Each structure stands twice: as C-alpha cells, then as structure tokens.
C-alpha cells in the first residue's frame, strides 16, 4: 500500500545518523562588462538564434511579414496578443485541444509566442504557459519566433525567477529556451531541429 | 534492463578490440572534457564552483526526509499526485495501472536512468503497452536492445550502417541511408507521430524543488518537452535523492550540471512543472503523477559513507575524465550507469558480490572526484566497497575473500613482519622470475603470477636486492652502487 511505503521510507531515512555537511557559498561568476542587451544577444546568437532588433512593438508588427517571407513561412500559429496577419492563426481560433494539436503538428510552419524574460548569462529566453499560451506552439513547428522587450532582459536566472509573477502565481509549466532543438547522438554529428524547432528567431523590441 | 555487471571482463576485452569503440573513445570523452573546461571559465574560481555544488548536494541529503515531505506537500497543493514506491516493482505496477485505468495504449518516454534501473520499458511492453524511447540515442539503443554507451550519447558509437539497418527493419526509413543528419530527421518524423498518439508521457527528474513542488528536466532535443505537452497524462519518475530545498539551489546546480555534462551554459531546454495543466489551458497533462522511488536508496542513506554516492547528479563528467572508461567505453559496466558513476552507484544497488569487477577496476587516480560538481568521492567509496566486500558485509552483499586470497594475504603479512623471511622470499622470487627473463625483460610467469603479466612486462630483477647493497655500504660511498 502506498501509505505504507511512504511512511516506511521516511522513517527509515529519519533513523539515519547525521553526516558532515560542508558550507561553501554559491560560486561567483565573471561579470560581463558589455551591456546587458549586447551580452544577451551575443550568447543568444552563439546558439544560432537569430535576433531582429526593432524600435517598437508597432515596428515589430510591420516587420513580421518580412520575417515570414525570408524564412519561407506560409502558415503560422500564434499565442493571443501577438501580431496577427493573414498567414497567422491565433491559438484561440481552434475549437479544442484536438483541433489545435492537429494544426500545430501538421499545418504550421512556425509558432509565434511572447517570451517573459531574456537571461543575459546564457542567452536564454524564458517562456511560461497559461490559457493564452499553449505549450506546443513553440515546440512542434520547425520555426519558433519569439517576441521580447529589451526591458525584460535580466542578468541572471535568479533575477527572472524571483519576479512576483512566478512567485504569486506559479505557472503549470515554464521553459528556459537556449537555442534551437539539437542533438549529436549519431556519430557525434551535431544538427538542429531534432524534435523541436530547427530555427529560433527573436524579435527584440527596444 | 538485463544486468551484465558480472561479465565486465569479457565485455571489456571485446570492446577493446572493437574499432568503432576505439574511434569514439578517442573523440567523445576528450571533446566533452574540453568543452566542460571551457564552460567553467566564467566562474571566478572553478574549484570553488565545484565545492559549492558539493555543499548543496550534501546539505540536501542531510535534510532529505524533511525536504521530501515539503516537496510532497507542495506538489499535492499544485494538483499533482504523488506515489511512493519502495522498489521498482511497485513503481512499475503503479505506472501500468495508471495507464490501463486511463485506456493508454501508447507511451512516449524521455531518457531516464531511473526507469532503466527499474526496467520500466520491459514491464510496460509485457503489459501490452507500446512504449517509445524518444531521445534519439536512447531510441536507437532501445531498437538495438543495448545498454547506453555514454550517459550523454547513448548510441554515439553505433555505426551509421547499423542504424540504417535497424531503422529499415523497424520501418523508420524505407531505403538505406548513410547520412547521420538524415537518419536523425527520419527518427524525428517517426517519433512525432508517436508523440501525437501517446496517451502518456513518462520522464525522469533532474531536480525537484521542495519549497515550490516543482519538477525540473534538462535536455537538448525537445523530446521531454513533447512528453510533457502532448499526452494527457504525465508520469515523472524520480529517485528520492533528487530533491533540493530552494529554486536558488536548483539554479546553481543547473549551471554546474549543464557545464559538466555537455559544456553548455544552459542546455537547449530546461522545463519546469508545477502541477498538471490548469483549467482552460489548451495542452499539457490533465494528470501529473510523481513517482518517488526508493529502490534501495534509504538503505544506502543509512551509512554516511555510502550516502555520499547519492550526491551524484548524473552529469557524466566523470566518464569523460576516467582513464578506464576511456579504454573500454560504457558497455562493460553492464547496466544503466557506466564509468565512475556506475562504479559507485551500481555496487550499492546490485550488491558488492555482483559488481566486484566494477569497484576493483578503478586505478584510484581521483580525477573523477576532482571534477565532480556534486561532491562524490569515488575513490573513497571504491576503497570502502573493497574492504566491505572482503569483510563479507551482509548489508552490501559482500562476498568475502577466497581461501586462496586469505592464504596469500596471511603469507604476505607473515613475510612483511619478519625481515629474515622477507629477504629469503625476495631472493627466491627474484631468482625464480629471472630464470624467465629474455633480453632483460620478463614477459610471463605461470600460476599465481599469470594474470599479472596479462597486460604488463617486468624488467629483469638485479642480482642483489637494495637491502643487501645498503648493508654493504650504508654511507653511500660506492658511487656505482648509489647510481
């Protein structure tokens, strides 16, 4: 019985004698002297991520069709609240999970989402998921386009995860994305797009 | 997974003669070790970074029971279900029952050492549930029914022709293929279909955060994200030592894990779950089951010496540093865990008598300990296993020493504590061995010495021993002797 297993395991652990515990502080890391945004962009592009820096959100909207064209994207699915267009269907368009899943697996060349934060220390973007933002949008299509405001770039993971939005309302799912999906599992030959997106594109608004 | 730890010598001999194994051992561990070192350069003091990781792991283990309780409380509050399993059978049965109750016929799995340890794939298949490993390397090893060659690249040594053959046989491709990238992409297409059909996704757990009830997974391919996004049920299997207290500690460990494992500042995807999907969310699991598996760990925990082995975070850096792994690769270790990681973990889980070659094949060079970001003292543990094995420790299933070994050790002790006997034995042995010398080298000897010469030669012994030279000339006057 599960109740029994729990109690047996915990009481067995509690009976163990104490051991020695060292008390070393967290290790210091080298502080990047270039600006926060530049440091972020350098590391983001080092992972083959593509950054487009634009002036404003409006500019991002105007720029989007160009990106779609450049990367040969005919159909995209977006999380609500993001720039739309004739080739971009918002997630809310789908009647249910089945419809959405079918479309995101089979019909979308790209997924368009917002990113919560950019993390300069590793060039990572943080995505969290909720009713307006399905998990598969940034995962199933070959291309993931994320939109991020430069004001949301922070130095470290701790700076991002200590924000009240995560503490007060922990999301059911949260992902650090550092570059596109990749593998080197056959003969050590690396390539992008193993299961997730092959390309990661970021529209960075100033 | 079938345990083959007792065939260590045979498999090692076979692997050392295998050209593919040799080729990959010259490349992979070296490359990963270089990348690891480069990635540590952004710590002001890399050694201090390693010590801080060790401190976090030791502290987490010290508070393990209370951290597990806090974790459980917070995980339950987030809407997850928590199941405690004493052993692999209980865990597997719970997962199979959950699958059956929910009408699941297809399962997609992320790479998870604990599920290999538990033999979960075999149990699911026996229960008639179609189970797919979805990490590319793990997918290949599953099709070939082999253990992982390396924790980071489970199938990295398999030649493309072999992969092409098995992919053809299993219907992953229609015609032979020799390009690694195209083979990988055909697996992508094949597995996408499984992600869509899977009713259940099963993953391991890299870390569990007590204060928030969060589960963390680290990967590069995105298959674990699929397992947590597409199916309606998610099962996360965690061995009970995975829990840390705070998000901050988890982040510190994540940095060390990614740098140590693949030389990345952060892996491509780090995903965190706090409960199942919330109401109104389009995708993600409707049910999140967390299986906390003991499988012998609470016994290992009881002794503060063996407890140290539970600090391991499975980064695999020790494999790349190990001179023995560098010669034989992952197969001889005979189970889910290879390299120094396997040498310290497997004996505790399987018993000393079934794993003697594992802890005896260590050279005690200590490189693994020096780079371990989790504070595992591999050489100390292996010496401990050797002594507990000789003492026939009942808890660790030590086998005791043979009559031959006992006699030899007793003879040695006698000789070493009696100078006259020592001198005589030395003289006898030297002249006996020297009879076999050819051109100043002894290449072999019969009987008890046979194994020693298997991979070594001995220079011909001098006509007189050091001790007798010393007795003649204690002041060191004779230059020819001093030289």
Task: Judge whether B381 and B335 are in contact, CB under 8 Å.
Answer: no
Burial string for A184-201 (b: 16+ CB within 10 Å, else e) reads bbbbbeebbbbbbbbbbb
Write the pLDDT tens digit of every residue in A66-84. 999 999 999 999 998 887 7
Question: What SS3 class is residue B107?
Answer: strand
pLDDT at residue B483, rounded to an integer: 45
- C-alpha B354/C-alpha B161 separation (Å) is 35
Q: Does A124 touch chain B (CB under 8 A)?
A: yes
What residues in A contact B39, CB-CB < 8 Å? Answer: none
Picking from A175, A154, A49, the residue whose alpha carbon sits closest to that of residue B274 is A175
Question: Which of B222, B259, B306 is the best mutation test for A, with the most CBs of A within 10 A?
Answer: B222
Residues of A in contact with B43 (CB under 8 A): 27-30
Contact partners, residue A38, CB within 8 Å, separation at least 6: none
Answer whether CATH 3.40.50.300 is correct for domain A33-205: no
Across the interface, of B52, B251, B298, the residue whose CB is closest to A157 is B251
State the average pLDDT over residues B456-472. Answer: 86
What percent helix, strand, coil does chain B show, rounded to 5? 55, 10, 35
Kindly determine whether residue A194 and residue B222, on different chains, have CB atoms separated by under 8 Å.
Answer: yes
Strands B269-273 and B458-459, by their bridges, are: unpaired
φ and ψ at residue B85, rounded to 5 degrees: -125, 130
Report whether pLDDT(B210) > 90: yes
Whether B206 and B216 have beta carbons less than 8 Å apart is answered as: yes
Give chain A's radius of gyration (CA, Å).
21
pLDDT of residue B482: 46
CB A154, CB A98: distance < 8 Å? no
Contacts of B222 in chain A (CB under 8 A): 139, 181, 194-197
Contact B35, B262 (CB under 8 A): yes
Pairs of CB atoms within 8 A across A/B = 262
Q: How confident is the model at residue B469 (pLDDT cuts 50, 70, 90)?
A: confident
- Distance (Å, rounded) from C-alpha A155 to C-alpha A35? 10
Q: How far is CA A196 from CA B89, B224, B226, B476, in A?
A: 33, 10, 8, 74
| Mean of pLDDT values over A139-163 | 97
Query: What local confidence, expressed as pLDDT, does residue B4 receive?
Result: 93
Q: Rg of chain B's alpha carbons, rounded to an integer?
A: 26
B256: which 2 tokens? Answer: 């060390």
To the nearest whole Å, the CA of B49 is away from the closest chain A CA by: 5
- For residue A87, how many other CB atoms are within 10 A of its CB? 15
Tokens of B63: 């508070």
B129's tokens:
């549930």
**Cα distance between residue B475 and residue B470, in whole Å:** 8
Mean pLDDT of chain B: 94
- Residue B129's pLDDT band (boundaries 50, 70, 90)? very high
CA distance B395 to B251: 36
Please report the pLDDT score of residue A85 as a whole number: 81
Could you give the CA distance from residue B20 to residue B451 in angstroms, rounded to a whole number?
27
Q: What confidence category does residue B478 fall into, taking pLDDT thresholds of 50, 70 and 90?
A: low
Q: How far apart are CA B192 and CA A102, in angstroms?
A: 12
Q: Which domains does chain B have, with CATH numbers?
A: 43-51+65-295 (3.40.50.10420), 305-390 (1.10.1060.10), 407-482 (no CATH)
CA dist B338 and B57 (Å) reads: 21
Closest approach of chain B CAs to the CA of A51, in angstroms?
17
The CA–CA distances, whole Å, from A109 to A74, A115, B463 equal 7, 19, 81
- pLDDT band (50, 70, 90) for residue B233: very high
Chain B positions touching A171 (Cβ under 8 A) are 274
Q: What is the secondary structure of A87-115 as a DSSP string? A: TEEEGGGSSSHHHHHHHHHHT-SEEEEE-
Average pLDDT of the segment spanning A24-43: 90
pLDDT 10s digits, B140-173: 999 999 989 999 999 999 999 999 999 999 999 9
With a CB cutoff of 8 Å and minimum separation 6, the contacts of B229 are: A135, A136, A139, A173, B201, B283, B284
Length of chain B (residues): 483
Give the domain ranges of chain A: 33-205
Interchain pair B185, A27: CB under 8 A: no
DSSP secondary structure of B240-302: GGGEES-HHHHHHHHHHHHHHHHS-SS-SEEEEE-SSPPTT-SSS-SEEEEEEE-TTHHHHHH
What kind and span of H or E run contains B217? Answer: strand B214-219
Q: What value does the mean pLDDT take over residues B203-226? A: 98
Tell me how crowded residue B356 is: count the other CB atoms within 10 A of its CB.
19
Alpha carbon distance B407, B413 (integer Å): 10
Digit-coded pLDDT (tens) for B248-296: 999 999 999 999 999 999 999 999 999 999 999 999 999 999 999 999 9
What sign has the CA pseudo-torsion B307, B313, B319, B323?
A: negative
| pLDDT range class, residue B449, cuts 50, 70, 90 | confident
Q: How far is A74 from chain B (nearest CA, A)?
A: 20
pLDDT at A7: 97
Q: Give bridge partners of residue A118 from the DSSP assignment.
A: A125, A153
What pLDDT is attached to residue B455? 82
- What pLDDT shows up at residue B119? 95
Q: How far apart are CA B482 and CA B473, in angstroms?
A: 9
Round to whole Å and give the CA distance between B106 and B119.
Answer: 17
Which residue(s) pair with B233 in the sheet? B200, B287
* Bridge pairing between strands B287-293 and B233-239: parallel
Helix (H) or strand (E) holding B175: none
**pLDDT, position A3:** 58
Residue A46 has pLDDT above 90, yes or no: yes
Lowest mean pLDDT, pick from A39-53, A126-140, B22-36: B22-36
Instruction: Output the pLDDT for position B480.
Output: 56
Task: Give B210 to chain A, closest Cα distance, Å.
Answer: 14
Min mean pLDDT across A29-33, A113-117, B2-6 is at A29-33
What tokens were used for B214?
Answer: 């969060």
Could you tell me if residue B314 is left (phi over 0), alpha (psi between -120 and 50 degrees) or otherwise beta? left
Report the residue from A14, A134, A179 with minimal CB separation from B283: A134
Residue in chain A lying closest to B295 (CA): A9
**What does DSSP say about strands B287-293 and B81-85: parallel, antiparallel, or unpaired?**
parallel
Tokens encoding A109:
């060349």
Mean pLDDT of B181-189: 97
Give the H/E segment covering residue B187.
helix B180-197
Query: What is the distance between the alpha carbons of residues B293 and B91, in angstroms, rounded to a whole number?
Result: 7
Measure the CA–CA gap between B334 and B342, rounded to whole angstroms.
9
Strand-pairing partners, residue B131, are: B107
Cross-chain CB nearest to B220 (options A16, A131, A183): A183
On the question of pLDDT at B401 being above 50, the answer is: yes
Taking the C-alpha atoms of residue B116 and residue B204, their distance in angstroms, rounded to an integer, is: 10
> A95: distance to nearest CA of chain B, Å?
10
What interface predicted TM-score (ipTM) does this complex get? 0.97
Average pLDDT, chain A: 93
């Amino acid at each position: 019985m599960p109740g029994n297993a729990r109690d047996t395991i915990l009481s067995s652990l509690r009976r163990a004698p104490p051991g020695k515990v060292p008390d070393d502080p967290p290790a210091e890391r080298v502080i990047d002297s270039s600006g926060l945004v530049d440091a972020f962009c350098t590391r983001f592009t080092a992972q083959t991520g593509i950054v487009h820096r634009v002036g404003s959100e409006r500019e991002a909207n105007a720029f989007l069709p160009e990106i779609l064209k450049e990367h040969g994207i005919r159909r995209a699915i977006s999380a609500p609240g993001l720039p739309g267009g004739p080739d971009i269907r918002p997630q809310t368009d789908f009647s249910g999970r089945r419809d959405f899943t079918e479309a995101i697996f089979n019909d979308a060349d790209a997924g368009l989402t917002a990113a919560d934060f950019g993390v300069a220390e590793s060039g990572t973007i943080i995505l969290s998921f909720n009713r307006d933002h399905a998990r598969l949008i940034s995962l199933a299509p070959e291309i993931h386009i994320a939109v991020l405001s430069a004001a949301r770039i922070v130095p470290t993971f701790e700076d991002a995860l200590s924000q009240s939005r995560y503490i007060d309302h922990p999301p059911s799912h949260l992902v650090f994305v550092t570059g596109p999906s990749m593998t080197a599992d056959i003969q050590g030959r690396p390539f992008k797009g193993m299961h997730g997106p092959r390309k990661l594109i970021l529209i960075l608004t100033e | 997974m079938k345990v083959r730890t007792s065939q260590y010598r045979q498999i090692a001999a076979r692997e050392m003669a295998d050209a593919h194994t040799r080729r990959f051992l010259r490349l992979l561990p070296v490359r990963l070790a270089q990348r690891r070192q480069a990635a540590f350069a952004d710590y002001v003091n890399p050694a201090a970074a390693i010590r801080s990781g060790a401190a976090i792991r030791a502290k987490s283990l010290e508070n393990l029971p209370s951290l597990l309780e806090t974790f459980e409380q917070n995980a339950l509050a987030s809407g997850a279900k928590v199941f405690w399993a004493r052993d692999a059978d209980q865990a597997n049965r719970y997962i199979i029952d959950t699958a059956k109750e929910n009408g699941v016929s297809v399962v997609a799995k992320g790479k998870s050492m604990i599920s290999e340890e538990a033999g979960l794939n075999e149990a699911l298949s026996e229960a008639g549930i179609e189970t797919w490993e979805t990490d590319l390397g793990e997918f290949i090893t599953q099709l070939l029914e082999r253990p992982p060659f390396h924790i980071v690249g489970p199938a990295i040594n398999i030649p493309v022709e072999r992969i092409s053959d098995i992919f053809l046989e299993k219907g992953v491709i229609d015609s032979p293929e020799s390009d690694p990238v195209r083979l990988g992409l055909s697996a992508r297409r094949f597995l996408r279909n499984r992600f869509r059909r899977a009713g259940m996704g099963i993953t391991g757990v890299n870390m569990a955060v007590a204060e928030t009830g969060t589960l963390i997974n680290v990967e590069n391919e995105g298959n674990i994200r699929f397992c947590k996004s597409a199916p309606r049920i998610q099962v996360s299997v965690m061995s009970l030592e995975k829990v840390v207290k705070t998000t901050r500690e988890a982040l510190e460990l994540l940095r060390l894990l990614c740098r140590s494992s693949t030389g990345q500042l952060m892996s491509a995807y780090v995903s965190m779950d706090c409960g199942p999907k919330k109401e109104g969310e389009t995708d993600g699991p409707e049910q999140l089951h967390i299986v906390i598996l003991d499988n012998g760990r609470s016994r290992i925990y009881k002794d503060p010496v063996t407890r140290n082995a539970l600090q391991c975070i499975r980064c695999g850096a020790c494999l790349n540093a190990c001179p023995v792994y560098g010669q034989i690769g992952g197969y001889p270790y005979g189970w889910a865990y290879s390299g120094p990681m396997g040498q310290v973990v497997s004996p505790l889980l399987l018993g000393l008598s079934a794993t003697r070659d594992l802890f005896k094949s260590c050279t005690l060079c200590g490189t693994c300990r020096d780079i371990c970001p989790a504070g595992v003292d591999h050489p100390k543990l292996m010496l401990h296993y050797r002594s507990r094995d000789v003492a026939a420790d009942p808890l660790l299933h030590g086998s005791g020493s043979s009559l031959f070994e006992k006699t030899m050790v007793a003879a040695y002790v006698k000789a070493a504590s009696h100078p006259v006997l020592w001198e005589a034995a030395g003289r006898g042995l030297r002249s006996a061995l020297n009879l076999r010398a050819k051109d100043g080298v002894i290449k072999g000897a019969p009987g008890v010495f046979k194994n020693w010469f298997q991979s070594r030669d001995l220079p011909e012994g001098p006509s007189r021993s050091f001790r007798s030279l010393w007795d003649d000339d204690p002041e060191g006057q004779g230059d020819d002797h001093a030289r």
